[in-house]
Amino acid sequence: MFIAANWKMNLDKKSISEYAKFLQKFKFSDKVETCIFPPTIYIDYLHSLINDLPISIGGQNCHYKTSGAFTGEISPNFLRDTGCKYVIIGHSERRIINNENNAEIKLRAEAALNSSLKVILCVGETLIDRQEGKALQFIEKQINDCLPDNYENLLIAYEPIWSIGTGKIPSVFEIEEMHTHIKKIINKFVNKKINVIYGGSVNIKNINEILDITNVDGVLVGGASLKAKDFLAIYSAAVKYLNIS
């Protein structure tokens, strides 16, 4: 079970320091893996505050080259060097705002894997695709186009674009259908279990229902991860879920 916090472009040094105080008081379980994705500039700072805790730190993106004339970009080697274990690749905000296409996302994922990072590859359909009944087809193409050659350290995050930050989530049936679909597509390439986590408006009210869905191996949390109390409540729900099931 994997619970991830994507802070996006939020939380400054002072808020991170307050957040870390909450984390320091919390009792973590060895059954649930967790990773925080802070703004890149604060990776070292967060690390210095929580490096004694069983929490991984990850980058929100990385470039497909390890060095060179790429002003403003982040090398996967730099993430690794600052102690990151994971990186998110292909988040819909990067795809939409920064025009990252499937081919580029595949390159970024491969570069990250070559730099010994674990990759969370995000896929997700638009509302129109969902309404027109094309969601399964859309995700299949995204996976076929973005899937890196090495599957060892790969997780997929199913994040319907229309669900991110909107408070709307797919039905239990739709999430289960999509996660099962994603696993089947990947099994065509490799006979190995790949974890698929769900992201999109996960919060303390819907977490129990989401975790109970077949083929959901964890969650990627955006907005609700910005308050330590809420994120830890989501984490605790995962621990409780594992202890009961």
56, 142, 201, 236: which one binds ligand PEP (CB under 6 A): 201
Q: CB atoms < 10 A from the CB of 243, how many?
A: 9
Q: How many Å is the maximal CA-CA distance in the chain?
A: 52
The verdict on 222 binding ligand PEP (CB under 6 A) reads yes
Among all residues, whose Cβ is closest to ligand PEP?
Answer: 222
User: Contact with ligand PEP (CB under 6 A): which of 150, 165, 187, 190?
Assistant: 165
Q: How far is CA 27 from CA 8, 10, 32, 108, 229, in A?
A: 25, 25, 12, 35, 13
Closer to ligand PEP by CB, 6 or 236: give it. 6
Measured from the CB atom, is 110 or 159 closer to ligand PEP?
159
Residue from the set 200, 215, 218, 234 that interacts with ligand PEP by CB under 6 A:
200
- Show Cβ contacts of residue 129 under 8 Å, excluding neighbours closer than 6 positions: 135, 137, 138
142 binds ligand PEP (CB under 6 A): no
Closest listed residue to residue 220, CA positions, set 233, 236, 208, 231: 231
Closest contact distance (angstroms) between CB of 200 and ligand PEP is 5
Query: Which parts of 1-40 interact with ligand PEP (CB under 6 A)?
Result: 6
Separation between Cα atoms, residue 176 and residue 174, nearest integer Å: 6
Q: Does 124 bind ligand PEP (CB under 6 A)?
A: no
User: CB under 8 Å to 167, separation ≥6 — which residues?
Assistant: 201
Q: Which residues bind ligand PEP (CB under 6 A)?
A: 6, 159, 164-165, 199-202, 220-224
